Structure 1
């Protein structure tokens, strides 16, 4: 899948789960999903994780989630892109 497709799918998933269109709100792409500008409920982030793993047929490693890297649109985009390209996170 090319980069544009990954981006478009993530924008759609996040719009469904957070009601935020990150394509229209570019200034929020680097914001922590739990902090005051977005305030995404934890359950919605878990559902977003499941949607991403299901759509892309990938498994996001537990250490990536626990390290706090699964916390913004851009970070999640980078994670998915790396997994799609089979690049090691370490």
Structure 2
């Protein structure tokens, strides 16, 4: 996969949610990227969040670290994009 910016990653996450659940979370307006996906505004449920996780792993060819899930970091578009960006950077490092 070619190098992606965080903005590109966020757009892909929004696209995943729209494709899976026919929900355009950008219609919330400014700041949508920091709204909790399980929160009152976006209203995904836990099983839907699992589908988002699996689709992100498939699309970006990464593994989301379990500690990011347990810590509750996999909760907003912005945070998910940070996790993915970090994993993509780790995967780019040459093996020694």
Instruction: Indicate the TM-score class for this superposition, using the shorter chain for normalisation.
Output: 0.7 to 0.9
Look up the match of 1:62.
66
CA 83–33 in structure 1, closer or farther in 2 if over 3 Å, else same: same
| Contact 1:29–1:72 (CA under 8 A) maintained in structure 2 | yes
Where does the alignment leave 5 or more consecutive residues of structure 2 unmatched?
A: 92-96
State the TM-score, normalizing by the size of structure 2: 0.78
RMSD: 2.1
Could you tell me how far 1:29 is from its partner in structure 2? 1.0
Bigger proportion of residues as helix: 2
Where does the alignment leave 5 or more consecutive residues of structure 1 unmatched?
A: none
Q: Which of the pair has more CA radius of gyration? A: 2
| Contact 1:12–1:21 (CA under 8 A) maintained in structure 2 | no
State the TM-score, normalizing by the size of structure 1: 0.82
